[in-house]
């Protein structure tokens, strides 16, 4: 019997600083777990990063560091493709064609454009407006079946689906229509300082997030300063006890324990004991990741070899699709 072809998953992350614990739990940690069941392509999305002004030297360094960190978090280059987005020029080639299949009104309704325009009012550039088209190209150029998306990216995936359907209708079937991949496990990790909002490394309060490369003492300090309440009881109640519930979610993700187990474990104990336990569970999880990250980062030949091979393979797949799109669009080809 012929073996069933694996579905293809594509995901990416911007190299704009060290990943947070929220990135790790909600996305990156799960990427390694997908490799046996899916054909996985993972990219460091440096083209997307420049919609906001970047220091060139920092962007180069962070791209390398992000790649090393993804490998340290479990991405196996023997099972998955890992590449840097800008090293596959076909993404931008397809993006222009898709821009001409995208309506102005569709882009103007993107909530992230409105949010980022307000946040970066001194640099509301065209790329900030059109980057959802580049995101569509990232997905469609590999005929990805599935795309892991959070709540803030659902609009972008829907746009990619609409553009793909529009092109297919006009020029004949070309693109796979991607579906969202909803992880079975994973959680939305909130700010330690303001548990009503998502954990983000762009938060001005450094105590609101934990970075994957934070040292043990920093992790302990941030956990101890995490907002809880005056109730003094470790109980999961996201609406009325958001801070405690957020810490319980983190502890559950780190240890695999269910919420009722955690409540029993800390029955009669104070928040101090609970916060210390949360911190130690994070340290235990991240220490081997940090050690592997340093090993990979110090092995420049290995890291560059992985990225070069990944880019070459990705370019081969992408070029074939772009040539098909160019032919159907009517571009004269020699």
Q: At 18, list the tokens.
A: 């060290």
Instruction: Based on the residue annotation, tell me whether 201 is a catalytic residue of this protein.
Output: yes
Options 7, 33, 201, 328, the catalytic residue: 201
Instruction: Based on the residue annotation, tell me whether 116 is a catalytic residue of this protein.
Output: yes
For residues 63 and 67, give the distance between their C-alpha atoms in angstroms, rounded to a whole number.
6
Instruction: Based on the residue annotation, tell me whether 300 is a catalytic residue of this protein.
Output: no
Options 64, 116, 241, 275, the catalytic residue: 116
Q: At 289, list the tokens.
A: 């990741």
The SS3 call for residue 212 is coil
Q: Say if CB 278 and CB 247 are below 8 A apart.
A: yes
Cross-strand pairs, 82: 42
Q: At 274, list the tokens.
A: 């609970």
Q: At 198, list the tokens.
A: 């998502």
Cross-strand pairs, 110: none
- Distinct helix (H) and strand (E) counts, the chain: 14, 5
Place of tokens 């821009």: 99
For residues 25 and 39, give the distance between their C-alpha atoms in angstroms, rounded to a whole number.
21
Q: What is the CA radius of gyration of the chain?
A: 21
Place of tokens 């003492």: 217
Q: At 25, list the tokens.
A: 């739990």
Options 64, 198, 222, 275, the catalytic residue: 198
Beta strands at 39-44 and 8-13: parallel, antiparallel or unpaired: parallel
For residues 107 and 129, give the distance between their C-alpha atoms in angstroms, rounded to a whole number.
7
Please provide the distance, in angstroms rounded to a whole number, between the alpha carbons at the two ends of the chain.
Answer: 42
Q: Give the active site residues.
A: 116, 198, 201
């Amino acid at each position: 019997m012929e073996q069933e072809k694996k579905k293809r998953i594509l995901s990416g992350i911007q190299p704009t600083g060290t990943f947070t614990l929220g990135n790790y739990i909600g996305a990156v940690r799960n990427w390694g777990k997908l490799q046996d069941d899916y054909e996985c392509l993972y990219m460091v999305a440096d083209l997307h990063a420049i919609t906001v002004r970047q220091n060139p030297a920092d962007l180069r360094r962070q791209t390398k560091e992000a790649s090393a960190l993804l490998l340290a978090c479990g991405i196996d280059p023997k099972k998955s493709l890992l590449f840097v987005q800008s090293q596959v020029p076909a993404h931008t080639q397809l993006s222009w064609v898709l821009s001409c299949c995208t309506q102005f009104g569709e882009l103007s309704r993107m909530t992230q454009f409105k949010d980022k325009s307000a946040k970066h009012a001194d640099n509301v550039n065209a790329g900030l407006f059109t980057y959802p088209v580049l995101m569509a190209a990232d997905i469609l150029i590999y005929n990805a079946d599935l795309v892991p998306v959070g709540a803030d990216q659902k609009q972008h995936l829907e746009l990619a689906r609409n553009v793909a359907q529009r092109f297919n209708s006009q020029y004949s079937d070309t693109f796979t229509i991607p579906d969202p991949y909803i992880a079975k496990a994973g959680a939305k990790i909130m700010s330690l300082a303001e548990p009503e909002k998502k954990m983000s490394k762009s938060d001005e309060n450094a105590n609101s997030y934990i970075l994957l490369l934070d040292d043990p003492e920093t992790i302990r300090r941030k956990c101890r300063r995490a907002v809880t309440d005056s109730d003094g009881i470790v109980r999961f109640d996201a609406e009325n006890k958001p801070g405690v519930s957020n810490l319980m979610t983190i502890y559950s993700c780190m240890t695999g324990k269910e919420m009722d187990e955690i409540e029993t474990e800390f029955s009669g104990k104070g928040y101090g004991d609970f916060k210390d336990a949360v911190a130690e569970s994070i340290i235990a999880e991240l220490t081997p990741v940090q050690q592997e990250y340093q090993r990979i980062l110090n092995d420049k030949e290995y890291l560059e070899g992985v990225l070069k091979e990944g880019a070459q393979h990705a370019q081969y797949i992408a070029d074939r699709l772009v040539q098909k799109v160019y032919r159907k669009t009517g571009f004269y080809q020699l």
